[in-house]
Amino acid sequence: MNEADLPPPLYRQERLEVANGHLRLVVIAVLIVMLAGFALLGIQFRQLNARIDQLATKVNGIEATFGVKFDETSANLATTNTKLDALSGRFAAEFKSLGAEIKAMEAQMTTSTNAIAKSIAALRAGPLPAPTSLQPSPAPVQPSSTPTSKPASTPLQPPKTRP
């Protein structure tokens, strides 16, 4: 390349100064945007802090107004919780005892059922036994030392059996 083709050195220096000026403007614009963003964030944090303080004041006021009721309610809930725990323990014990009673009844029913089945099998295998009376037998009459008139006695009839 010839030196004639190159622009004069002064011309290059002017271009560098112009580029440097544009760069400064861009950097200043970026800095302004950053400062504005930080300022906006600061304002938002202050508003948020003020709102939190307002809510804390309201909560403290509510607690001061209803604090006693909250404490009473907490105590009632604790008492109720204790009672429910006691009841659950009682229910568990009661259900265990009921389970044992049911098992005992099942065993008794099994024994009774087996005895009935054996007696039915015995009845089917052999002749039927003579029917027995379900009425108690009359007590024997003891003679008394003084004579009394004897009422007319009616003979006892055997009870009727069902076919």
Angle ∠(125,129,133) on CA atoms, nearest 5:
150
Give residues with Cβ within 8 angstroms of 70, minimum separation 6. 63
Write out pLDDT tens, residues 59-108. Answer: 878 777 766 666 778 888 889 888 888 888 888 888 888 888 999 999 99
pLDDT digit string (tens) for 26-65?
999 999 999 999 999 999 999 999 999 898 888 878 777 7
15 vs 3: CA distance, rounded Å: 18
DSSP letter string, 88-154:
HHHHHHHHHHHHHHHHHHHHHHHHHHHHHHHHHHHHHHSPPPPP--SSPPPPPPPPPSS--PPPPP-
Would you state the pLDDT for residue 25?
95
Provide the token pair at 121. Answer: 């099998």
Two tokens, residue 60: 């403290």
Cα torsion at 138, 143, 145, 146 (round to 10°)? Answer: 70
Residues 6+ apart with CB under 8 A from 63: 70
Q: Tokens 């009359």 appear where?
A: 138
- Nearest-CA neighbor of 67 among 49, 17, 75? 75
